[in-house]
Amino acid sequence: MNSFAELSPVDGAKLDLVVPTSLQELPAMVERAKQAQRAWAGLAVAERARAFSNVRDHVMDRGEELASLIHREVGKPEAEALLGEVLATGDVLSFWIEHIEEHLEDLELEIDPISYPSKRGRIIREPRGVLGVIMPWNFPLALPFRTLVPALLAGNAVIFKPSEISPRTGALVVELFRGLPEGVLQLLQGGGEHGAALCSSGVDLVVFTGSVATGRKVAHACAERLIPCSLELGGKDAAIVLADANLDRAAHGIVWGALMNAGQNCGAVERVYVERKVADAFTQKVVEIAKELRPGIDVGPLTTKAQCEIVRDHVEDAKAQGAEVLLGGNSAVGGYEYPVTIARVERDDVRLIADETFGPVLPILVVETAEEAVARANASRYGLTASIWTKNYTLAKKLGAQIRAGVVTINNHSFTGALANAPWTGVGESGYGVTNSIHALEAYTRPKLYLEDRNSQKRELWWFPYTPHLKTIALSFLVLRSGTKSVFVKMGAVFRLLGAFLKRWKT
Ligand code: NAD
């Protein structure tokens, strides 16, 4: 789909016209990026960081304008856009500008001087080259930045394709980087066809954040070209509430974790497993808190009508299969609006519990034990983040180790996506990409080994010819490295080794 969203989900007002990039321009864009990247990577890391120094000011100075655009384009409340997108982006910039140099430092290679005399090696982190960065619409500022900043600072050039649902914020993202050398960051405006073309355009790595279905297509396209891809995909996060939890905090935290961004968050709480002993009290608190949320101020509309339909389908399907709706769940509403919905659900095999809903719906399921909660939380094809709510940190640590997810938080949920130094990653169908932290650099750079040999001998031990003495040396090493041979046997091996060494050097 290449058609851009044209109407604001807030009030249906027409949004500015967006012109797609002609796909005929793509080969020239890639060529321009390749040339720009060579010069960019040739700069010292500190020089690249200096070229970024104004970007943070641009983001802060235009923060209100950015939040207002995000609000109009995707419907997110302005307070949420200011906190979760603008300020979080400032933190991402500060972190990487301060730490990129140390994170890209060469590593000294440890080499055994007896086996490999007079050698020194360094492991250098080299940029991948030209990256295709394809992004979704649900955090149209913060998500691109958390990839673009480290990827560019590491010396890559980027062709960035924002979502067709948030192309105006996407254009502003690129504008905020003005001051970077020409060609280092380019904008590709379009939808799925443009994303697919970018994967096959000759880029060296694709960094993709989006749905599982599209992620699969991206992985296929990259496999065809034998280029790596980083995939950050969907989620179906579980929150586990144990009987000893601070129920007020758990209820407030889980309502926020589920309904922030109208639930359109890959790390949204989409299932709560609560121990029976506190299930009623917890559920009552959740309903009371959720009832007070103000449409448009606390919880915005959904970003697309299509998303609204998915949410409606999930809730109707769960209702038909016995779910009890405690708040909201009104199927009559239309357009971009879906009411905040709380439901009691029994089964894990309904779509509301098995598939990503991506809407303002919080299903609550009762469990008998913490172990049952973990087993049911893990029985999902997704595994992005999960939270456990308890005062027993010893038990939390044990359960946390058993949870199949990339991020586990105790007494909080999913806010760590805003921490630039914390890895954000998943397992299973949530994808294997890593965003944020030093670990993200493993995708944006490749290790290169540089080795200097200052050995002036005419031959290494292991070079030709393969004489009987060489075989004796190898056999002696086997004995010396064995854990089962006696001291006497090893002493014998030492003598044979020394004799063979001397003879080897004479030949
Ligand atoms: P989507 O998969 O529909 O689109 C994502 C991007 O892929 C868009 O830019 C789109 O134009 C592009 N695209 C579409 N077809 C393509 C193709 N064949 N090849 C290449 N690119 C193509 O996802 P969406 O609806 O924009 O985003 C919502 C999804 O993103 C949810 O599943 C959500 O969980 C996920 N998400 C994950 C994370 C994470 O960090 N794991 C973060 C945010 C969102």
- Please enumerate in sequence order all residues whose Cβ is within 8 A of that of 114, keeping only pairs 6 or more positions apart, or say none: none
Does 110 share its domain with 225?
A: yes
Q: Give 334's pLDDT tier (boundaries 50, 70, 90).
A: low
Calpha distance 432→425 (Å, rounded): 7
| % of the chain with per-residue pLDDT over 70 | 99
Does 289 share its domain with 306?
A: yes
Q: Give 335's pLDDT tier (boundaries 50, 70, 90).
A: confident
Give domain status of residue 19, yes or no.
no
Reported as type and span, the H/E element at residue 422 is none
Pocket test of ligand 1: the residue of 146, 161, 205, 209 to mutate, having most ligand atoms within 8 Å of its CB, is: 209
Give domain status of residue 13, yes or no.
no
pLDDT of the residue at 371: 98
Does 89 share its domain with 188?
A: yes
Mean pLDDT computed over every residue of the chain: 96
pLDDT of the residue at 182: 97
Number of domains comprising the chain: 3
Task: Check pocket membership of 443 for ligand 1, CB cut-off 6 A.
Answer: no
Does 284 share its domain with 366?
A: yes
Domain containing 209 — which CATH number? Answer: 3.40.605.10
pLDDT of the residue at 416: 97
Q: How far is the CA of 206 from the centre of ligand 1 (A)?
A: 13
pLDDT exceeds 60 at position 395: yes
Nearest-atom index, ligand 1, CA of 164: 11
Task: Check pocket membership of 233 for ligand 1, CB cut-off 6 A.
Answer: yes
Nearest-atom index, ligand 1, CA of 221: 19
Reported as type and span, the H/E element at residue 366 is strand 361-367
With beta carbons less than 8 A apart as the criterion, state whether 162 and 140 touch: yes
Q: Give 507's pLDDT tier (boundaries 50, 70, 90).
A: confident
pTM, full prediction:
0.96
Q: Which whole number is the average pLDDT over 19-23?
A: 98
Q: Which whole number is the average pLDDT over 7-35?
A: 97
User: Which residue in this structure is represented by tokens 């207002």?
Assistant: 68
Does 267 share its domain with 195?
A: no
pLDDT exceeds 80 at position 229: yes
Q: How far is the CA of 218 from the centre of ligand 1 (A)?
A: 10
Closest C-alpha among 440, 399, 400 to residue 423: 440
Does 250 share its domain with 329?
A: yes
pLDDT exceeds 60 at position 1: no
pLDDT of the residue at 332: 66
Does 385 share its domain with 502?
A: no
80 is catalytic: no
- Please enumerate in sequence order all residues whose Cβ is within 8 A of that of 295, keeping only pairs 6 or more positions apart, or say none: 301, 337, 339, 340
- From 80, 164, 232, 270, the catalytic residue: 232
Does 207 share its domain with 126?
A: yes
Q: Which whole number is the average pLDDT over 443-462?
A: 96
Does 226 share its domain with 371?
A: no
| Structural domain boundaries enclosing 46 | 25-233+438-448
Which runs of consecutive H residues, i.e. helices, occur in 229-325?
A: 247-259, 276-291, 305-320
With beta carbons less than 8 A apart as the criterion, state whether 445 and 104 touch: yes
pLDDT exceeds 70 at position 2: no
Does 275 share its domain with 332?
A: yes
pLDDT exceeds 90 at position 505: no
Task: Check pocket membership of 134 for ligand 1, CB cut-off 6 A.
Answer: yes
Nearest-atom index, ligand 1, CA of 196: 19
97-111, 330-344, 463-477: least confidently modelled range: 330-344
224 is catalytic: no
Does 286 share its domain with 334?
A: yes
Closest C-alpha among 268, 240, 238 to residue 359: 268
With beta carbons less than 8 A apart as the criterion, state whether 397 and 386 touch: no
Give domain status of residue 311, yes or no.
yes
Reported as type and span, the H/E element at residue 273 is strand 269-275
Reported as type and span, the H/E element at residue 56 is helix 53-61
What phi, psi does 229 have (nearest 5°)?
-140, 150
Could you tell me the CA-to-CA distances from 445 to 121, 154, 432, 435 in Å, in that order? 18, 7, 16, 13
pLDDT of the residue at 506: 84
Give domain status of residue 426, yes or no.
no
Tens of pLDDT, residue by residue over 143-166, are 999 999 999 999 999 999 999 999
Does 188 share its domain with 242?
A: no
Give domain status of residue 15, yes or no.
no
Higher pLDDT, 400 or 331: 400
β-strand pairing of 130-134 with 205-209: parallel
Q: How far is the CA of 166 from the centre of ligand 1 (A)?
A: 12
Give domain status of residue 10, yes or no.
no
